[in-house]
Amino acid sequence: MRALGGSSRLWGGGCVPLARMDMAARDWVPCSGWPIDFDELATWWTGARELLGIDARHGIGDGSFGNAHFDHALPLRDDLTADRVCFISPVMFESQYRKLLEKSANITLLFHATATELAAAPGAGHVQAATIRNLDGRRGSVRARHYVLATGGIENARLLLASDSVAPQGLGNRHDQVGRHFMDHPRCLAGQVVDGDLWTLLRPYNSDDQRRRLPLYRELSLSERVQRERRLLNARARPYPVAGAVPTGLQALRELRATFRPSPAGPGTSIDVEYKVQRALAVGLPEPSPPVLASGRRRARLMLSVGMNAGHVAGALARRLRRRPLHGCQRVDLMTYFEQSPNRDSRITLSDSRDALGMRKVRVDWRLTDLDYASYRTSASLLGEETARCCGGRFEPAPWVRDPMVQPDVVGTAHHIGTTRMSLRPEDGVVDPDCRVHGIDNLHVAGSSVFPTGGWAFPTFTIVALAMRLADRLRTGLEIVGL
C-alpha cells in the first residue's frame, strides 16, 4: 500500500518468530540456509517485540512465543505436529509512530514523492542520489551518504531493476539475481474433517474466542522431526467451522442486530479500499454476513420472527454460555499454509508498459516447483489425518491431495519474500549478511525481500528485527552522524 505505514495499514497483526529450522540449510530445500545465525537474529527479537507492542511477559522461543496458557489442547503426536504460539500485534505503524517521526529532529517525511530511480555513480558501485517524482510532474532528488531501500517485497526489486541509467541490467544486478526467488506463503484448502467431536478440534484454534481474552493464539504446525524425516517444507493448518443452516430465529436476530450497526464507508474511502483488499486476500475463507439496510418495517418483521422462534435464540444463548458454536457445525474445513522453496525462475521483472510516473510496471511470474507441490500434498495429508484422529473424525482430502495430476488451487497471502535475497557470495543473492547490496558501498535493503527462505511465519516480526539490526549497524558500524 502506497502510504506512510505501507501494507501494515492493512495487516492482520499476526506475529511469530521464525523457527531455527526455517533458517537452516536443509539438503532437501535448494538454496536454503540463511548466511546469518539464528541466535544472532534472535538477539533482535526483544526489540521487535517491544516495537510491535507485544507483552514482554511472553518469552520468544524457536518458532513460537512462550509463557502462554491455553485452556484446551489437542492430544497431538509431537513427532508429527506442534502448536506454535502467535501474537496479534495492536500496532498500526502509521498511527503509532507518525508523531514520533514528525517530532524527530533528524527525520523528514516526504509525501507524494515516489522514488523512481537510484542514480548511481559511474561504475555503479555507489548511489549518488534518489530521483523522486510526483503526479503533478515535479521532480527532485534526495542526496545522502547512505540509502536504505525499504519499499516492500516486490517494489524493492522493481526500484533496483528500474535504476538502469548506469548499470543497464539494474543496480546490484551484476549476477542477474535481482527479482529472482520470489516467494509467498501459498494457501490452499486441504480438505475437510467430518464426523467426530468437531468442537474438540475447533476449540484450541478458535482465535476469535481466544483474542477476546488475550491477543495470543495457536497455529498447528508440522514438527521439526517430520519435516526432516519426510523432507518437507514447513506448513501449518487452520480449522474453520462450516455451519449447517442457521436456525430461523437466530438468523433473524443477527439481521436485526445488523440493522442497528452503522453502514460501512462508501466506495472510494480508505476503509472501503482496505475492506476490498482484505476480502481479496480472504478468497476461499468463510464469508462474513453482508451489511443489511435498516428500515422500520423490516425491523418489525425481524422482531416478529425472533419472537416466534424464541427457542432457537434460547438454544444459541445456552451454547454461548458453554462457549460452544452458536449452532451446529456440519464439518471443518482445513486450510493449509505453506513455506515455498526458493526458485530462481519465480521472479519479478519489469514490463514495457509504464505507470503514471513513467516508471516501468512490475511483471510478477510466481512459480511453484514440483518439490513444493509434493511437499504440500504430504503435509496436507499429515495435518488432515492428525486433526481427524485427535477428534475421532474422518479426514476427506481435497482432490489435489490424493491425485498428483490435480493442481492445487493455491493463492498467495501478501507475504512477498526473497527478491533481494541475502547471500554470502554476490553470485547467489543481492545483499550481504549486513543487508548491504553486494558491490555497492552505500545501499542497504530492509524488508522480507532479503529473506533467503521464509518458513510459514508471518514476515513482519522478522522484518522489524532485521530493520533494527540494520539501524544499529548503520549507526555504530558506519558512524552516521546524527542517527
Ligand X SMILES: Cc1cc2nc3c(=O)[nH]c(=O)nc-3n(C[C@H](O)[C@H](O)[C@H](O)COP(=O)(O)OP(=O)(O)OC[C@H]3O[C@@H](n4cnc5c(N)ncnc54)[C@H](O)[C@@H]3O)c2cc1C
Smallest gap from residue 409 Cβ to ligand X (A): 20
User: Which residue do the cell numbers 539494474 mark?
Assistant: 170
Smallest gap from residue 155 Cβ to ligand X (A): 4
Q: Is residue 336 at the binding interface for ligand X, with CB under 6 A as the rule?
A: no
Half-sphere exposure of 53 (CA within 13 A, CB side): 12
Choose, by CB under 6 A, the member of 218, 312, 415, 436 that binds ligand X: 415
- What residues between 128 and 187 interact with ligand X by CB under 6 A? 150-152, 155, 159
Q: Is residue 10 at the binding interface for ligand X, with CB under 6 A as the rule?
A: yes
Q: Strand, coil or helix: what is 334?
A: strand
Smallest gap from residue 470 Cβ to ligand X (A): 12
Smallest gap from residue 114 Cβ to ligand X (A): 4
Choose, by CB under 6 A, the member of 6, 125, 284, 315 that binds ligand X: 6
C-alpha cell at 276: 476490498
> Residues touching ligand X: how many (CB under 6 A)?
29
Q: 356, exposed or middle or buried, with CB in 10 Å at 0-12, 13-18, 19+?
A: exposed
Choose, by CB under 6 A, the member of 11, 65, 147, 182 that binds ligand X: 11
- What residues between 99 and 128 interact with ligand X by CB under 6 A? 114-115
Angle among Cα 248, 253, 257 to the nearest 5 degrees reads 150
Q: Is residue 282 at the binding interface for ligand X, with CB under 6 A as the rule?
A: no
Task: Write the single-letter amino acid at 9.
Answer: R
Q: Is residue 458 at the binding interface for ligand X, with CB under 6 A as the rule?
A: yes
For ligand X, the nearest residue by Cβ is 6
Q: Strand, coil or helix: what is 166?
A: coil
Nearest to 18, CA basis, from 472, 445, 463? 463
CB nearer to ligand X: give 65 or 458.
458
C-alpha cell at 267: 466506495
Q: Strand, coil or helix: what is 362?
A: strand
- Pairing label, strands 347-354, 360-365: antiparallel
CB nearer to ligand X: give 159 or 316.
159
Q: Strand, coil or helix: what is 443?
A: strand
Which region among 34-42, 192-200, 398-406, 459-467 touches ligand X (by CB under 6 A)? 459-467
C-alpha distances (whole Å) from 28 to each of 229, 259, 410, 420, 457 are 10, 55, 22, 22, 19
Smallest gap from residue 313 Cβ to ligand X (A): 34
Q: Is residue 346 at the binding interface for ligand X, with CB under 6 A as the rule?
A: no
CA distance 356 to 163: 17
Q: Is residue 459 at the binding interface for ligand X, with CB under 6 A as the rule?
A: yes
Which region among 41-49, 216-224, 339-347, 458-466 touches ligand X (by CB under 6 A)? 458-466
Which region among 64-72, 276-284, 348-356, 379-387 touches ligand X (by CB under 6 A)? 276-284
Positions of E strands within 391-453: 394-397, 443-445
Task: Write the single-letter amino acid at 476.
Answer: T
C-alpha cell at 370: 514440483
CB nearer to ligand X: give 86 or 326.
86
Q: Is residue 220 at the binding interface for ligand X, with CB under 6 A as the rule?
A: no
| Interface residue list for ligand X (CB under 6 A) | 2-4, 6-8, 10-14, 114-115, 150-152, 155, 159, 277-278, 281, 414-415, 447-448, 458-460, 463
